[in-house]
Structure 1
């Protein structure tokens, strides 16, 4: 359990990261959702997003993800509506069912019929966005004369991105209720990726939506790949080995055991190296994998330290993000809050 000075300093550091990222040219900030973990100083995304809504002025702010099965959807809608107003319409939320039993246990939430709980929560949000009092009598949630006040700054509600990239059903749900489909930072296999993105695009187009694919990657920019691997390699290698032990990455033929995880072998699945190497990797994912938007992660559970990450955010923004933004036009898509289509 971290001490109180560590907690307060880390919270300040995380807020500062968001401020630095906006100044360095990043387009959005995303905050995760974790509970009951000593390494997660801000458990819910709502807390940090509320602060960032005031501390930033241009960057989009969102969740990756909001686990909507943990608590009542009206309570979550109220908190996010406040954030949307404080930010003047810069909010979006990636929404998922969740996968970690410990989170539900923390709140005493039964772990049966989670998909039903997820779908009901989305229905409540849709009704709440209409701006009128309403009743809802579901299997999991009830609302009596509910009213979402204040209403979101963005008329009709903020953009919703779909979380969940493993099953065909989760991909279909992303097209049904969301404006985007998001994918986690694990190693990709091109045939499997093409199958999943093809299914998502087909579902979205059936519904009259323009597909929008978001890919999360781990990354680090330095003078060379070797320098980046030394600064960041130990941290992401340990993280990936943890997931291999959970059986999550073992579907990939190149990563069957922990010993298979090395900086060199994982390199094709990262955005890491010199500025030019990072730019080329992003463009490869855009051109060969059809990715429309990227989320970059620079810190794992074990590090790097906050000070090094702050420097990395500044450098990556100036030397990688800025050239990418200069080359490509601003995104005009419903997944992006209108205030942030720059």
Structure 2
């Protein structure tokens, strides 16, 4: 009872410290997002019409954020709020409540679900606490797939047009520019010119079908696979190769680029590994010749390095969102970082 009273007083004090949302009247729309990567996309879609802020940097774990008055104040005068819309940011509703801005609650016109329309993977058939921190709607770590990022951009453009209809054409043009840049960077300009984005997207619905098509068809006597450029060409350095990952945050990326995640440092999502699990992991890496361990910057790097040292593997520690490092500002910067870092790691292994 005493604990409940203290909790109530804590929440009440937080609520009293948040000012009421001011009247909207700025020439710019204020967009606030949960993840910095959503903010980077919102900046490209909103252009000069928006100012952008976010809650979670790319070097922070988005699962665990403590609602604080300073974060709630960001939302108090937000014109648009973007969150994943699944169960990744379970802290977000409390933060919105603390902000006093009821118009950005889920389901309201000033709210955008980034996941709307994304084909979700790993939707559980059975929900069990024994499976660890399972996401009941499916794996929410889709933003490292460039084609999923296009869906997110579309959702943000729709949200901006909904609250600012007189500039809807402006947002649509920026969306088209963003989509075109993602297509160019993913497939390369030559293949994009030959096949067009529509066909490439249709083939990419099943990534294996895209590779099969490119490998089995020719253009002017040359295999189409030779025309592939961009991130997919660079990612051939690790396509079909095995790696160990710390957390189940690579399902969409690995599906798009063909990286094979053989196992995880976490035996179950968000469950710390036991010594026995680490021993089994080391044994598997030795038996299968796996020499890459992939982890985001915010996970236990000491544990990752200990496992890597035991088998002579290389820990590959990467940013999983923008604003993780000064040079990772845009969405394309992020994918450049992920693909480039992994390609370099596997190429070093091949040459050693």
User: TM-score, normalised on structure 1?
Assistant: 0.29
Higher relative contact order (CA closer than 8 Å, sequence separation 6+) = 1
User: Considering only CA atoms, is the larger Rg found in Structure 1 or Structure 2?
Assistant: 2
Provide the TM-score with structure 2 as the length reference. Answer: 0.28
